[in-house]
Chains A and B, each alone.
Chain A
Amino acid sequence: MDEKEARLVELVLGGRTEAFEPLVTPYRQLLLTLAYRLCRNIEEAKEISQETLMRAFRYLGSFDRTRSFKNWLLQIEMNVWRSLGERAADEETLRELATRNTLEDPQERLAAKEAREKLFSCLDGLSPREREVFLLRDIEGRSVKETAGVLRTSSISVRVHLSKARDKIRELVKRRFPELMEGQR
């Protein structure tokens, strides 16, 4: 955690609650986007992000300041996602919701829509745990150790799921969207 964040945490804990907004604003996109990629429903993603930030505010006093604030927020979000996931709809319903949300947003660009569909199509081929590991490590760029900390699991478990996830992603991209690979060679 950097000095600026530490100072803001001190202010919030000292009763200056307005300091919470500058503390979490740098992560608002990250939390919303990750939640959306996990649940594929913009309203549910907002709900997950709000609950994450609300919990962060409530439990800020127990935050270990030797750790990364960003990873702490991600850890809370994964917990919220998992607790909500227990009552989540099945995959088919989620896909329908994702499509509906896309169509309801008039400002959305076609390229972003296509990109999202490709991403979701690949993520669909992963198990829930592989998806979490893949999103945190390969999309959000957390290290294996950080990913293990966020998911409260071991680095070995992360590597095992990551290995399977990457193998599946390679197969899926190669079969369905070979143009994505061509542009990267």
Chain B
Amino acid sequence: MGKVVITPEIIAEHGITPEEYQTILKILGREPRIVELGIFSVMWSEHCSYKNSKPLLRTFPTEGPHILQGPGENAGIVDFDERLAIVFKMESHNHPSALEPYQGAATGVGGILRDIFTMGARPVALLDLLRFGDPANPRTRRLVSGVIEGIADYGNAVGVPTVGGECYFSPAYDGNPLVNVMCVGVIEKDRITRAVGSGAGNLVVYYGNATGRDGIHGATFASTELTEESEDKRSAVQVGDPFMEKKILEVTLELIESNAVVALQDMGAAGLTCSTAEMAGRGGMGIRVDLDKVPQRAANLSAYEIMLSESQERMLAICEPAKLEQVRGILNKWDLDAHVLGELDASGLMKVYHRGELVAELPADKVSENSPVYEREARRPEYMDSIPDAANANLGPATDLKRELLEFLASPNICSKRWIYEQYDHMVQTQTLTPPGDNAGVLKIDGSRHSLAMAADGNGLYSYLDPFEGGKLAVAEAARNVACSGARPLAVTNCLNFGSPLKPEIFYQLSEAVRGIGAACKALNTPVTGGNVSLYNENPEGAIWPTPIIGIVGRLDRDVKPVKAGFPAAGLDVALIGPPARDLGGSEYVRWRTGKVHGPCPACDLDHERRVIEVLVAAANAGWLASAQDCGVGGLGVAVVESLLLGKPGLGLELDLGYVARGNEALRVEMFAETPGRVLISAAPDHYRQIQELCSKHGLPIALIGQTIQKSDQAAEAAHVGPELHGMQEPLLGNHDAELGIRHAPSGLRVRIGHLRNAYESRVSIFPPEKPVALYEA
């Protein structure tokens, strides 16, 4: 396809604007060849170049004494102990998952794993952040099962435990599901390998899967809105092979271990184009590759197709010629071949040959590092001024809070996500101290005395109400979750999921969210080490809720035992750190009850959040905390239930919310409001007094609200509503006779723990049974 005439139509098809085309003409001093146009098209897509978000991302705080690698590499790196460092990053695979949920999600896992082991780190944990449309929408069910199965089949096979995540449903994600995956790895500091090519004459070595036609133009496709026609672009979705991934993981670590390679880069978005251009561009080098040397699994691939293919599980290494045999030996052991495509030179040019012909000749740095950057127009969206207030929401009288609590617990966004995470291997590598379902996943790290905590959070509803507060809250919540385990939050990665930045209202959301994230990261001393931007999450019906997702890693010092969410024993004081609830604005409860969005967005006090973290970390280090649970989505009411259900079987809890005004309406607000910065803790009475002192030293409100009690003396006569509940996989464990009692004038409420568990584990609202189900007998 050497003689393709470049027409305005072809340029437009490549997603290149007329202005960008003028820039290309200027860079080359001539008309581009078709392969070159394809290269510019993928390298200058939002996915690879961040052209619309770069000016915003530059405002993030990115430095700190413990940050070994900030943004700009495959992943961020943070110092862990004398010998080890933590490598972590989050990536989205939203657009592919919308079209082909199984492969889209599977290859999303594959891509982020490669980002981590390409730097020389062994991946030790995955977290999955999922957003789907209305569960009542039949399309949602197909997406849910496809995405979860795709993640499970890939992550399980590679042998990396999934230790956390989120799954949230809202019509705002109809047509545009979000699949964000975070991967965390551990590396010996002297093994850190970067994707910077150096040394003229060094060889460019390709290994892994052969190249096919799959995924051609995946990166440009991921940077446009989804339409009906997108269905036709299905060939742009790649197919994953976790077995090959596991092999290249082991091979790559072995190559690094034996010092056989100078630099490494995986072929992810934009495939061979991106990996060659970036390796050369970052190192200020030139690169020459011969596409006839690329192993191919489809006949008659053109140069254009080879350069733009996004076939999965492919790696590119730079090695000294003298070490080629060593590289080959390691690859051959794993039944892989080393394909030498070309070499680095000092020319600064990226030169691509195919069938003896020069098909592309471009300045590498111009393509990879000097992409166009746009300052887009931002305009505050009008809807923000007409969001109804939760105080006026039609919630009805709060006559039966017990029924409301149970039904709320069974609702899609509140109920236990055990049905998801049990499909993921969360124990392989035998380091998982705190499994999924808790505030943070915690791993003991073999060879270190410290433990590693991680969490990822983001609330699209908050960001829709107020993107600035939403950005702050995403960081604050993830940090709080990590701190609940007793770990100090260290650094942040993020995934910014938004609509089209070309629309001023969307760009406003993006820039405000970025401003909020930056402010929170600064206040909490958790610099941003990198991340991913996923824009154009739109369909003809509109854009998704702006959804910034924040991933945080933290460290539990020395041999401190991780604190968990569950109450571990009877006789503990139960207390609430933080202010009383303010209002139901932005709460899942109001959204669930009314089906509508109500404000105001919960306001995030960063100084308060910082003090909460200090207190939690200090109390955990002193060994005073028996449990800690963040009051997140669903508020205090859901936090209390989770601490009971995750705790020791047979425990009951008596609460007295004496500080709440009389009447069920006030109690309802206290139970379900999502006022930020509230943490439910338990501690032995002696320790509670010390935590109280600690709080007053830090100027934090704390209220004693109850005690855990053992109710084993009661007969096991509790009604067992389990078997007729759809989706129940096993009989409910533990005693069902214990109760949660909330004393409150005039009536309060009492619920059996067994009923709470049935409701929480039921999933009835997501996968409705054929027969209606009673959550409890009246």
B is a partner of A: no
A residues neighboring B (CB under 8 Å)? none
B residues neighboring A (CB under 8 Å)? none
